[in-house]
Structure 1
Amino acid sequence: MDWKGYTVIYVVLFAFATAQAVVEFTGLVDSAYWPAFALIMVLSVVKAVGVAAYYQHLRWEPRAVTYLVLGGTVAALALTGAAAYSIL
């Protein structure tokens, strides 16, 4: 990928981060918590996938590497959820 492609991805990530900040600072979180939370989470997942695909070059790797990274991510999320649940 050339610099132009990286620049486009950077601008998209910047726009999504700005959208998250706008949701947070406009008071939408206070008035409608769950829809605002869902929107922020969706934007976060889109940003994470964009970073993994383009900046970590997973888009051009063999699928086995992508599945390995995805499996590790799922395992980390499961362990985090289990740890948070055990605290309650």
Structure 2
Amino acid sequence: MADVRTYSIIYVVLLVLGTAKFVFFELDQIFTEQMAITGTVILAVIKSLLIAGFYMHLREEPRSISYMMTIAVFMVFLLTVAAGYSIQ
């Protein structure tokens, strides 16, 4: 299990990434809307991986559980794409 220092560093990184997502949309002179959306999605993926890896302790679990979680997330993604396709 990670120590308090590691959790504090992860918390600060998550705080900085959350602030960066806000900055993308506020500095519209520098970032276009497409750049802001792309950057926000990339930062959201990074934040999700940090939260799942450290706070949900997936780094310490056997690899089979991590693979099962990855497959489950991929299946949810496929269902979302299928639902979006059926709405059109």
Determine the C-alpha separation between the residues in 1 that align with 2:40 and 2:32: 12
TM-score normalized with structure 2 length: 0.90
In structure 2, runs of 5+ residues without a counterpart are none
Two-structure CA RMSD over aligned residues (Å): 1.6
Runs of 4+ in 1 over 2 A off after TM superposition: 25-28
Partner of 1:71: 71
Partner of 2:15: 14
State the AA in 1 paired with 2:13: V
Partner of 1:23: 24
State the Cα deviation string for residues 25-83 of structure 1 (Å, max 9, x = none).
2236xx62222211111101000000000001011111100000111101011101110
1:1-88 map, 5 Å? 1-27=2-28, 32-88=32-88
In structure 1, runs of 5+ residues without a counterpart are none
Determine the C-alpha separation between the residues in 2 that align with 1:40 and 1:69: 23
Aligned residues: 87
